Amino acid sequence: MCAQTEFWDNAKGLLEEWYVACTSKELKKDQPFAATLYGKKIVLFRKKDGRAAALLDQCVHRGVPLSDGKVKNGCVSCPYHGWSYQADGHVAYIPSVNGKFFPEKPHPFKQRSFDVCEQDGVVWIYLGEKPENQRPAVFKLPFYDQPGWLSYYMVGKYDGEMGAVAQNIMDVTHTIFVHEGWFRSESGKAVDATIEVEPRKVVVEYHDHDADVGMMPWLTNPHGAEQVHRDSFIAPNITLVEYHWGEPSGMVFNSLISPVGPYESRVYTCVSYKFPIPKLIAKALMPAVNAYTWVVNNQDIKILSARRKGLENMPMTHSHSVRGDMAHIALEKILDALRHDQQLAPSFIGKRPMQFQI
Ligand code: FES
Ligand SMILES: [Fe+2]
């Protein structure tokens, strides 16, 4: 069995979920887009009405990837013999059979199609086979397009599996090392937090309301408002890191993690911000905010790539954890339960205090 197929098959219950295949901007009107999810290539294209469609990226004639072809008349056509596919996967047109003309009825030949949902500037695909009424809902980004808030996406390749990326984002203790001077510096203080675990969710509420997280406080919090910091993991592939400084100001990092390969993920981070300044000026600041968030993002990308090297040198059969890693352990347990189509053990569910030193 090839490694890609193995990765897909091992995902088991995790396939019955929605994943982001690309941003709306990446999926052009007349060009196919090749996405990889759990090692499988999927071709996306736009129908005549602009709506997105997704098929397994393989021609049913001789197997050539459809993403190497073209988009014509709302169909994706194979570069080898020109077979064209419509959004439901049926072959709409075979030049050697139909000549120049589209037949009235599509051919019975069919490639697997995936259900697609485009919202909040990204294209989600449902990878599983469950009927609509048994699927989880597509995640609605809570701050995208909200009045007063501005948003943009950072799309990055991380050398880590979905759980490792989610752990990295849900992890405060790394910030004083990996982002030293950029985001948070060592305080020598203990931080108290509350962790709440639900069957598909982990929420950590931090109680360090006066912590200086160094996100341009002169801009984000000139009035010294109490800081609300909350990190959430929404299974299987979403993290939401929220900082709020009173009602007029906040900065939110909503990451949508798509597994590409065993040690690789594509992460779509929607950064939403609201500053206590006129919106037009806040908008003009977007390139600077984007540059700052990319510095921090690249530091995480670098440390995960170092971790990958470490693991490739010697696979870890067991990783040791401390009390500050409670959120990481909980999110891995949730992923494990979903993978095996099981319920999360009741002993993990509930609210608990958590403390660590930074
Ligand atoms: S391989 Fe695709 S048309 Fe022949
Ligand atoms: Fe980080």
Q: Which CATH number characterizes residue 293's domain?
A: 3.90.380.10
Q: How far apart are CA 321 and CA 331, in angstroms?
A: 13
* Domain-embedded: residue 285: yes
Find the helix or strand (DSSP H, E) in which 6 lies: helix 3-11
Could you report how far apart the first and last alpha carbons of the chain are, in Å? 46
pLDDT(285) > 80: yes
Which ligand 1 atom is nearest residue 83's CA?
3
Q: How far apart are CA 233 and CA 156, in angstroms?
A: 19
* Domain-embedded: residue 145: no
Whether residues 254 and 183 fall in one domain = yes
Does ligand 1 come within 6 angstroms of the Cβ of 61? yes
pLDDT(210) > 80: no
* Domain-embedded: residue 111: yes
Cα 36 to averaged position of ligand 1 atoms, centre (Å): 21
DSSP state of 109: -
Cα 84 to averaged position of ligand 1 atoms, centre (Å): 9
Whether residues 119 and 93 fall in one domain = yes
Which ligand 1 atom is nearest residue 81's CA?
3
Whether residues 122 and 187 fall in one domain = no
Atom 1 in ligand 1: residue holding the nearest Cα: 62
| Number of structural domains the chain divides into | 2
Beta bridge partners of 40: 37
Which of 74, 100, 134 terminates a domain? The answer is 134
Whether residues 160 and 305 fall in one domain = yes
DSSP state of 327: H
Domain boundaries, position 340: 150-357
Which of 134, 164, 197 terminates a domain? The answer is 134
Pairing verdict, β 84-85 and 75-77: antiparallel
Whether residues 198 and 301 fall in one domain = yes
Alpha helices in the chain (DSSP H): 3-11, 95-98, 162-169, 175-178, 217-220, 279-284, 286-313, 326-339
Q: What is the CATH number of the domain that holds 127?
A: 2.102.10.10
Span 203-212, mean pLDDT?
A: 83
pLDDT (0 to 100) of residue 193: 95
Torsion of CA 275, 281, 283, 287, to 10 degrees: -100
Whether residues 221 and 309 fall in one domain = yes
pLDDT (0 to 100) of residue 220: 87
pLDDT(215) > 70: no
pLDDT (0 to 100) of residue 94: 97
pLDDT (0 to 100) of residue 241: 97
Q: Which ligand places an atom closest to the C-alpha of 298?
A: 2
Q: Which ligand places an atom closest to the C-alpha of 64?
A: 1
Span 318-339, mean pLDDT?
A: 95
* Domain-embedded: residue 186: yes
Span 58-64, mean pLDDT?
A: 98
Averaged pLDDT score across all residues of the chain: 94
Whether residues 154 and 130 fall in one domain = no
* Domain-embedded: residue 140: no
Does ligand 1 come within 6 angstroms of the Cβ of 201? no
* Domain-embedded: residue 142: no
Q: Which ligand places an atom closest to the C-alpha of 109?
A: 1
* Domain-embedded: residue 143: no
Span 262-281, mean pLDDT?
A: 96
Span 173-185, mean pLDDT?
A: 84
Which one of 66, 67, 68, 83 would you pick to mutate in the ligand 1 pocket, going by the greatest count of ligand atoms within 8 A of its CB?
A: 83
Atom 4 in ligand 1: residue holding the nearest Cα: 81
What is the per-residue pLDDT across 85-140, written as a single tens digit (0 to 9) for each?
999 999 999 999 999 888 899 999 999 999 999 999 999 999 999 999 999 999 99
How many beta carbons lie within 10 A of that of residue 246, not counting itself?
A: 14
Whether residues 206 and 251 fall in one domain = yes
Whether residues 175 and 317 fall in one domain = yes
Whether residues 84 and 220 fall in one domain = no
What is the per-residue pLDDT across 287-303, written as a single tens digit (0 to 9) for each?
999 999 999 999 999 99
Q: From edge to edge, which strands make up the β-sheet containing 70-72?
A: 70-72, 75-77, 84-85, 91-93
At 190, the pLDDT band (50, 70, 90 cuts) reads confident
Whether residues 88 and 181 fall in one domain = no
pLDDT(216) > 80: no
CB-count exposure of residue 169 (10 Å: 0-12, 13-18, 19+): buried
Alpha helices in 64-146 (DSSP H): 95-98
Which of 83, 102, 134 terminates a domain? The answer is 134
Whether residues 344 and 245 fall in one domain = yes
Closest CA to 154 of 321, 4, 36, 271: 271
Does ligand 1 come within 6 angstroms of the Cβ of 352? no
pLDDT(186) > 80: no
* Domain-embedded: residue 141: no
pLDDT (0 to 100) of residue 102: 85
CB-count exposure of residue 253 (10 Å: 0-12, 13-18, 19+): buried
Residues in the chain: 358
